[in-house]
Chain A
Amino acid sequence: YACSLLRQGMRQIIVTLDSPEIVALEKATPAPDKAAIAQASKRSVVEQLEEGTAQVSKFTSDAFALIIDGKSLVYALEPDVEKLFLALAVGCASVICCRSSPKQKALVTRLVKSGTKKTTLAIGDGANDVGMLQEADIGVGISGVEGMQAVMSSDVAIAQFRFLERLLLVHGHWCYRRISSMICYFFYKNLAFGFTIFFYEAYTTFSGQPAYNDWFMSLYNVFFTSLPVIALGVFDQDVSSKYCLKFPMLYQEGVQNRLFSWRRILGWMFNGVATATIIFFFTVKAMSPQGYDRDGKPADYPIIGATMYTAVVWVVNLQMALAITYFTLIQHVFIWGSIAIWYLFLLAYGALPPSISTTAYDVFVETLAPTPAYYAVTGFVVVSALVPYFAYSSVQTRFFPMYHTVIQWMRHQGKADDPEYCEAVRQSSIGHTTVGLTARSLARSNSL
């Protein structure tokens, strides 16, 4: 009861081998009959499990706690009984296996992992937890009184058990969001770039002549678009840690895979292709075949390539600025810096002798910078490539907000410090589940 695994209002199902019959068998003289004990024990365990299952299916709206000890666990984990045991355990809100050996801990973890096909997390601090930690998908080791064995065999190490809350709700949520956003964005930016090259090929009879200078293409993912992605994957936060802890249901975004569903992935990919289409066809239509500068010289391969590339770099970086809602100095430096690096690179590369810079020689200083048409084309191509996403984002934020967006709105409107309002949000965001039912009622009765 101290750690709220067992709460008031929970029905308990206790599976032990304390029945008089089994005790008598164990105390039989002259020597206990092992085979008989085993048989009787197994029968008893199965009986108790079946009884428990019947109870659970009868009282569907109540929370159940299953308590089973190490001796019974031996029989409950046998191949023919384990399915029954797992089914009952999954139907209970809490399961407590007391006095289990390290091997049993690992076996129970494996049973849950393979039986439910869900991600399992194990936490422990002693050497007897090592098996369990390694068996689970995520092993959290607690460093401290019992030594460093658990820490050494774990995936994540924390110093105190209570840090688990922060680990899951804050860092777990942030990491999920960062990784899914980063992957979606990475697909987006490479599609936006690659499809412009692909469309260009249609105009070169697919001979393989790229639309851009070779070094432009090699350095795309290195200099001009890599830093913002790093900022997104390492630093991004949708809500601050305070709110992650305040609204634990935010963690469900990860459990229900809301940020990395196929719909989102394909949506971003589609955004990339649409962006590339807009950039390519608008640039090409606007810049040829007529004269390009004041002296009537037309726009040739170096000019059109560099202009289109400029548009791609701007669009991809501005898209990042539109997609994130958390700007520290780091994000600003990385995003605007990447765009600046592109211009600096053009200057530096164009200044190298033509034997090295080939088609990019002097392209910025001589042909792009002094010509208004360059700015005019870049300007409208960049904006028209971003308008669709901006409109979509406005509609989504307003009418179909995700849970973290709701919290951002609350913070923005100053309602996040109002306890009653927060409570209302929390309660109405919970789906139909008995998991945590008594915990919530306990919390409610405690707080008021």
Chain B
Amino acid sequence: KKGFPESMNSSAPSSSSAGQGSAESPAARRNSKRPKYSKFTQQELPACKPILTPKWVISIFLLVSVVFIPIGVVSLYASRDVVEIVDRYDADCIPVSSRNDKLSYIQGPEDKTCNRTLTVTKLMKKPVHVYYQLEGFYQNHRRYVRSRNDQQLRNPGHARDTSSCSPEDTTPNGVPIVPCGLVAWSLFNDTYDLSRNQQRLTINKKGISWKSDRDHKFGKNVYPQNFQNGTLIGGGTLNSSIPLSEQEDLIVWMRTAALPNFRKLYGRIEVDLQPGDVIRVTLQNRYNTYSFDGKKKLVLSTANWLGGKNDFVGIAYLTVGALCFFLAILFSLIYLIKPRQLGDPAYLSWNRNPVGR
């Protein structure tokens, strides 16, 4: 726009400084009162002052897309690699005759055995994890989460410690319940027996809980007492001769889920399942989810380094990577098509909307 002069003269300040005639006289005294200069107090520390140049913007977007798209592909492959079979059984496992009064069926003494069939479509390498999935069950409700006593679970001497466990704290005689509280009381008690070609598939129920829970949160010499003895049955019973640290179903159940739709590990099958295998499930449909219209599902799934089957991670990586790539292209085009002299004051927002006084 403007031709720049050959010789650079020193720039004069445009603001006229006032008071030139003021305190000039005690120059020596002024110098002795001046505070010591330091970069920190004068706010002149060495600094990095980055600015979003077109180069940086495009390179950052490209970098993100170059990193994310491969990760997305890998994650998607990992997720596709996982084989998962989900079977909802709570609706069908009520005999037709009881369908219009599910509640009295589930609470009654009838036989709860139910037979299901699952077909394996792809090879499932061992170990195959067996989960039960509940939907509409709010293990994350505040009153529910607080209804337990961790001291009691760890320490046999603290058996009487049933504060915050109400209403499942003591028997009507005042004897404490171990483990107390609603969380333990609502222990899931459906059981599954799987067989393939008339041969039973053993479900390994060891190691389904986190080690820190087994070692430090549930005591090795704490035994269930007076558990599930009341009139209102909330769930399963416990073998009172096995210490809590070995009751892995209880430990898994008591590690509360974050959301109302959750899975918990039931056990693992230590053999491969071939494609075309027909798995027969003989399950006991004991757990009452009917009073709140919850759902129960049986899940068989493999797992790899990324966990179970969830395409979301892979798809999200791919989407973000692609979006960033698209933005990089878009910005490149914009910078090419409209290469404006950066720092041009004509584009100041003030000058586009002139301000009055």
Contact = CB atoms under 8 A, between A and B. Distances in A.
Interface of A: 2-5, 144-145, 159-162, 164-165, 169, 203-205, 207-209, 211, 235, 237, 240-241, 245-246, 248, 252, 256, 282, 284-305, 325-330, 353-355, 358, 361-362, 366-367, 371-373, 376-377, 379-380, 383-384, 387, 390-391, 393-394, 397-403, 405-413, 415, 417-426, 428-429, 431-435, 439-440, 442-443, 446-447
Contact of A325 (B11, B51, B316): B51
8 contacts: A284-B259, A300-B256, A327-B49, A361-B217, A410-B343, A420-B2, A425-B345, A429-B351
B36 interface: no
B145 interface: yes
Contact of A289 (B46, B141, B261): B261
A366 B351 contact: no
A85 B356 CA distance: 23
Given A241-B43, A245-B13, A387-B323, A286 B313 contact: yes
Contact of A401 (B4, B5, B15, B347): B347
Interface stretch (B195-203, B231-239, B303-311): B303-311
Given A296-B308, A305-B258, A362-B212, A424 B317 contact: no
Contacts of B45: 328-330
Contacts of B82: 290
A418 B4 contact: yes
B257 A429 contact: no
Contacts of A423: 14
Interface in B1-35: 1-2, 4-5, 8-23, 30, 33
A208 B51 contact: no
B356 A432 contact: yes
| Interface size, B (range) | 35 or more
A322 B273 CA distance: 51
Interface string B57-73: 10010001000100100
A409 B139 CA distance: 55
B156 interface: no
Contacts of B280: none
Contacts of A290: 82, 84, 263, 301, 307-310
Contact of A161 (B18, B262, B265): B18
Given A301-B140, A301-B256, A286 B354 contact: no
B138 A412 contact: no
A204 B140 contact: yes
A394 B331 contact: yes
